[in-house]
């Protein structure tokens, strides 16, 4: 009897211990609109969300979704978003202030784009693992990429041949290559193999160095970066807008999984493609939201904070014209790229997400993106586990909940990488600077609904 009582008590303790093992944000009782970290931007913490249902007109059945992205509509969305981001009335001045802000933040130099400088745009082609085949996996459309290229070349004054569009671990698809190349023939395209016309193979900068801030990661202190990233003066992470099977969702942080060369680690993620060291495989257990608590070390913070990766971001942008539920899905036991999904929630009302989000603060951008994705019934992955743990860690990278010393260069501990908070509710979508433009210290969300 005594033993039985003991056993019951033990079981109860174990049950509660397990029940509490994943404690996520916001923990019960956390006040809303209590930002962590330090806001960044011409207007600190500002995130602009432009949405126009006319940008995405696919019927969900016929052909490929990316043939139904309206270039003119998307261009107007980006025009308006960039003007709101900086508070300027014309796009030349707006891009001038974006470059100026970046050079002051990075180098304390009050100057704009300078002749000869190059820019790398990091795409997330995670779904493109079947060699050079078009597929209906949700990702940035050529129209979204070209809208950005139009801005950089026209208003930013950057020559086409000084711009590289890349993903070093995956492959371009034919529709992306022709979509970009036909409009911007001198823009450089780079992928893992370089085996399709107009695309070069990635080269590695063997003098570069990134180290993960936890030695539990296999190969943690031996990571290199692609030359297109290390030799560019500016980076623009152009994210997808979707859920993710391991990380819950994927925006700026996860994008840089496609930028790291780990000589000790091999990926052979497709029988159709030779093994590559552009392989983030050893990081996966550390971003898996089902096994990592709130307050755990997260390697996304190292990628966000490295001065040759996200930290060098001129602009952070989410290509959300066709957002999706996941990076990948299983059909008859086989993995396949996941198509876009319609968003049921307000204000989408059962249409494609038809949105572009921009910010100068990567943590703020991902925070708003996460609130939208988490609120969407058709993106259930964004509700799993503590998916925004990396935003807590990253916003307080100087003093994170996990106690990690984040130091991805091995030379200097990181400062705050931006500001994180959640909106006050999914209908009003107010952040602290919306509620109080003077005393608010967090995010300001500017919504533009066409
Ligand atoms: C890298 O890490 C391994 C094991 O964690 C260690 O043995 C090695 O000395 C480290 N190398 C450098 C250069 O820090
Ligand atoms: C995340 O971890 C869980 C529990 O170990 C595992 O079942 C799942 O397959 C992992 N997810 C991914 C995408 O690796
Ligand atoms: C990793 O790939 C290299 C080729 O880059 C190969 O020589 C090596 O045997 C592979 N190692 C493993 C453990 O598969
Ligand atoms: C959210 O903001 C709206 C608009 O300012 C306000 O009416 C509402 O009370 C706020 N909700 C919460 C929970 O603070």
Counting ligands in written order, the one closest to the CA of 428 is: 4
pLDDT at residue 186 is higher than 80: yes
Specify the pLDDT at position 335.
85
Task: Please give the pLDDT value at position 4.
Answer: 52
Across the range 72-90, mean pLDDT stands at 98
Of 221, 263, 411, the one to substitute when testing ligand 1's pocket (max ligand atoms within 8 A of C-beta) is 221
Q: Whose CA is nearest to atom 10 of ligand 3?
A: 266
pLDDT at 3: 56
Alpha carbons 18 and 348: distance in angstroms, whole number: 37
Ligand 1 center to residue 306 CA distance, Å? 19
| Residue 53: Cβ-neighbour burial (10 angstroms; 0-12, 13-18, 19+) | middle
Q: What six digits make up the tokens of 178? A: 């022709």
Instruction: Give the mean pLDDT of the chain.
Output: 93
DSSP per residue, 52-106: -GGGB---SSSS-GGGGB-HHHHHHHHHHHHHHHHT-SSHHHHHHHHHHHHHHHH
**pLDDT > 90 fraction of the chain, expressed in percent and rounded:** 85
| CA distance from start to end of the chain | 70
For the segment 231-255, what is each residue's pLDDT rounded down to a tens digit?
999 999 999 999 999 999 999 999 9
CA 409 – CA 337 distance, rounded (Å): 34
Best mutation site among 126, 244, 246 for ligand 2 pocket (most ligand atoms within 8 Å of CB): 246
pLDDT at 26: 64
C-alpha 218/C-alpha 35 separation (Å) is 33
What distances in angstroms separate CA 85 from CA 47, 94, 358, 361, one per listed residue? 7, 8, 7, 11
Dist. CA 444–CA 431, nearest whole Å = 6
Q: Which atom of ligand 3 is nearest to the CA of 276?
A: 5
Looking at residues 106-135, what average pLDDT do you find? 95
Give the range among 6-10, 99-103, 179-183 with minimum mean pLDDT. 6-10
Within 6 A (CB) of ligand 4 lie 424-425, 428, 430
pLDDT of the residue at 414: 98
Tens-place pLDDT, residues 348-377? 999 999 999 999 999 999 999 999 999 999
> Region 260-273: what's the mean pLDDT?
82
Q: What is the CA radius of gyration of the chain?
A: 21
Q: How far is CA 302 from the centre of its chain?
A: 14
Average pLDDT of the segment spanning 408-430:
96
| pLDDT exceeds 50 at position 174 | yes
Give yes or no for a contact between 416 and 45, defined as CB atoms under 8 angstroms apart.
no
**Confidence tier at 270 by pLDDT (50, 70, 90):** low
Which amino acid residue places its CA nearest to atom 14 of ligand 1?
Answer: 221
Our CA angle for 317, 238, 156, nearest 5°, is 70
Contact status, residue 117 vs residue 226, Cβ threshold 8 Å: no
- Is pLDDT above 70 for 406? yes
Q: Which two tokens stand for residue 396?
A: 């307080």
Q: Supply the residue whose CA is at minimum distance from atom 4 of ligand 4.
A: 428
Higher pLDDT, 154 or 328: 154
Work out the average pLDDT over 326-352: 94
- pLDDT of 20 over the 70 cut: no
* Residues 83-101 pLDDT 10s: 999 999 999 999 999 999 9
Q: Is the pLDDT at 272 greater than 70, yes or no?
A: no
- Give residue 418's pLDDT band: very low, low, confident or very high (50, 70, 90): very high
Ranges 10-19, 22-31, 61-70, 383-392: which has the least confidence: 10-19
CB atoms within 10 A of CB 47: 29
Atom of ligand 1 nearest to the CA of 410: 14
Protein residue whose Cα sits closest to atom 5 of ligand 4? 435
User: Considering the entire predicted model, what is its pTM?
Assistant: 0.93
| pLDDT for res 365 | 98
pLDDT cut 70: percent of the chain above it: 92
Which pLDDT score, from 0 to 100, does residue 121 have?
A: 98
Question: What local confidence, expressed as pLDDT, does residue 117 receive?
Answer: 98
What is residue 225's three-state secondary structure? strand
Averaged over 298-324, what is the pLDDT?
98
Ligand 1 centroid – CA 224 distance (Å): 15
**Considering every ligand atom, which ligand is closest to the CA of 274?**
3
Model confidence at 285: pLDDT above 50: yes
Q: Quick one: pLDDT band at residue 269, thresholds 50, 70, 90?
A: low
The atom of ligand 4 lying closest to the CA of 435 is 5
Expressed in angstroms and rounded, the spacing between residue 423 Cα and the centre of ligand 4 is 9
pLDDT tens-digit profile of 300-312? 999 999 999 999 9
Question: Do strands 234-244 and 248-250 pair parallel, antiparallel, or not at all (unpaired)?
Answer: antiparallel
Ligand 1: centre distance to CA 219 (Å): 8
In ligand 3, the atom with minimum distance to the C-alpha of 266 is 1
């Amino acid at each position: 009897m005594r033993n039985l009582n003991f056993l019951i008590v033990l079981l109860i303790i174990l049950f509660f211990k397990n029940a509490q093992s994943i404690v996520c944000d916001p923990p019960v009782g956390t006040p809303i609109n209590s930002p962590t970290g330090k806001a960044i931007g011409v207007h600190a913490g500002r995130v602009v969300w432009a949405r126009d249902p006319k940008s995405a007109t696919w019927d969900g059945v016929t052909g490929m979704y990316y043939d139904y992205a309206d270039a003119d509509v998307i261009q107007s969305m980006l025009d308006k978003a960039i003007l709101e981001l900086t508070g300027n009335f014309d796009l030349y001045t707006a891009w001038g202030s974006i470059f100026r802000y970046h050079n002051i933040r990075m180098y304390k130099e009050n100057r704009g784009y300078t002749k000869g400088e190059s820019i790398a745009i990091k795409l997330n082609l995670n779904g493109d693992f079947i060699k050079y085949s078009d597929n209906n996996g949700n990702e940035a459309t050529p129209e979204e990429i070209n809208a950005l290229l139009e801005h950089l070349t026209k208003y930013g004054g950057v020559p086409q041949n000084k711009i590289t569009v890349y993903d070093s671990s995956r492959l371009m698809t034919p529709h992306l290559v022709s979509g970009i190349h036909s409009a911007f023939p001198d823009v450089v395209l780079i992928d893992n193999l370089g085996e399709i016309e107009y695309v070069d193979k990635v080269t590695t900068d063997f003098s570069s160095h990134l180290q993960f801030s936890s030695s539990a990661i296999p190969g943690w202190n031996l990571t290199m970066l692609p030359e297109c990233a290390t030799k560019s003066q500016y980076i623009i992470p152009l994210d997808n807008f979707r859920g993710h099977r391991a990380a819950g969702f994927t925006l700026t942080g996860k994008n840089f999984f496609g930028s790291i060369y780990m000589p000790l680690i091999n990926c052979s993620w497709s029988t159709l493609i030779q093994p590559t060291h552009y392989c983030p495989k050893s990081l996966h257990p550390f971003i898996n939201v089902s096994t990592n608590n709130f307050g755990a070390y997260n390697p996304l913070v190292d990628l966000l904070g490295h001065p040759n990766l996200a930290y060098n971001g001129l602009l952070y942008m989410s290509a959300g014209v066709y957002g999706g539920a996941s990076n990948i899905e299983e059909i008859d036991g086989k993995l396949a790229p996941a198509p876009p999904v319609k968003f049921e929630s307000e204000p989408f009302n059962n249409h494609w997400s038809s949105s572009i989000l921009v910010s100068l603060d990567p943590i703020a951008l991902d925070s708003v993106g996460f609130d939208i994705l988490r609120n969407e019934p058709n993106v259930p992955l964004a509700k799993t586990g503590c998916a925004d743990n990396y935003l807590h860690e990253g916003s307080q990278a100087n003093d994170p909940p996990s106690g990690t010393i984040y130091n991805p260069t091995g030379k200097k501990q990181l400062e705050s990488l931006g500001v994180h908070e959640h909106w006050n509710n999914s209908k009003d979508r107010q952040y602290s600077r919306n509620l109080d433009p003077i005393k608010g210290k967090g995010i300001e969300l500017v919504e533009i609904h066409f």
